[in-house]
Structure 1
Amino acid sequence: MDITRNRDWRMAQKRRNKSRDVHTALLRFRGEKNWKMLYTRSDKVLRAAQLGIEYPRLTNQQLVKRGLEEYLCCECAFHM
Structure 2
Amino acid sequence: MTQAMPLCRHSTLPALPAPPGPTAVRLSHYVVTRRTAPRAANDNRRPRAVPAWPWAVAIAAAPMLTAALIVMQLI
Structure with the larger RCO, 1 or 2 (CA within 8 Å, 6+ apart): 2
> TM-score over 0.5 for the alignment?
no
Using structure 2 for the length normalisation, give the TM-score. 0.30
Using structure 1 for the length normalisation, give the TM-score. 0.28
Which of the pair has more CA radius of gyration?
A: 2
